[in-house]
Amino acid sequence: MTSSVVTLSGGLDSTVCMAVARTASAAGGRLVALTFDYGQRHRVELEHAAAVAGHFGAEHLVVGLDASQWGGSALTDTAIDVPDACDAASSPTHIPVTYVPARNLIFLSVAMAVAEARDADDVYLGVNALDYSGYPDCRPEFIEAFAAAAALALKRGVEGRPVAIRTPLVQLAKADVVRLGLEVGAPLGLTWSCYRGGQQPCGTCDSCVLRARGFAQAGVDDPALS
């Protein structure tokens, strides 16, 4: 029986990614959902991740790693405000303050450890390099370079069985992520995207705006708002 590790924040992208992993391993493969309690401002996403993992009947590992010990991001340092999307325009040369130093580097590294301990062949990561916030660690060239480094670090790599990194959303526009999610039965109503982490999504941060645009372009109501 094969296993897959899915990094699951409880957001739209990682939840669709989880549903894709479920579909890909339909023949009884085990899913391990991996969520990070990293000192994020929007810690409410942890409850959503638990709900999504529960929906899929997956083992759910919540790993604590307090990135607010060093900060350097609006998401892990409350002294830095989360800007509205209109003030956070991203480009290859502008990285917004919601960037978290080395986040996907850390998340993928821990995912590799879990994959090796659970003898899982695949790690899924819901990164998206099209409709995204301009974070360098969402780019396919980083994922490829990381996979090469991990193959050299891991016992599985030495044994000729490297862990594959699957990024099924990497080239999708946000509307296509929504469409794919509906197609593979992702529980979109359980997800949380807002960076601000209040009682309700703020509707104006970069993450809320990208999400709303995705649902609008797909011509679907966001079930998390109804």
Q: Nearest approach, Cβ of 162 to its own copies (angstroms)?
A: 11
Both structure tokens of 204: 């104006």
CA atoms within 13 A on the CB side of 51: 16
- Of 49 and 150, nearer to its own copies (C-beta) is 150
The reply on whether position 78 binds its own copies by CB under 8 A is no
The reply on whether position 216 binds its own copies by CB under 8 A is no
Measure the CA–CA gap between 211 and 5, rounded to whole angstroms.
25
Q: Do the Cβ atoms of 205 and 83 come closer than 8 Å?
A: yes
The reply on whether position 117 binds its own copies by CB under 8 A is yes
Q: Nearest approach, Cβ of 220 to its own copies (angstroms)?
A: 33
The reply on whether position 39 binds its own copies by CB under 8 A is no
Both structure tokens of 206: 């970069």
- Of 89 and 117, nearer to its own copies (C-beta) is 117
- Nearest CA among 28, 215, 19 for reference residue 124: 19
Measure the CA–CA gap between 96 and 206, rounded to whole angstroms.
10
Q: Do the Cβ atoms of 58 and 32 come closer than 8 Å?
A: yes
The reply on whether position 91 binds its own copies by CB under 8 A is no
Binding region for its own copies (CB under 8 A)? 61, 63-67, 69-72, 92-93, 95, 99-106, 108-110, 112-114, 116-118, 136-137, 139, 141-142, 145-146, 148-150, 152-155, 157-158
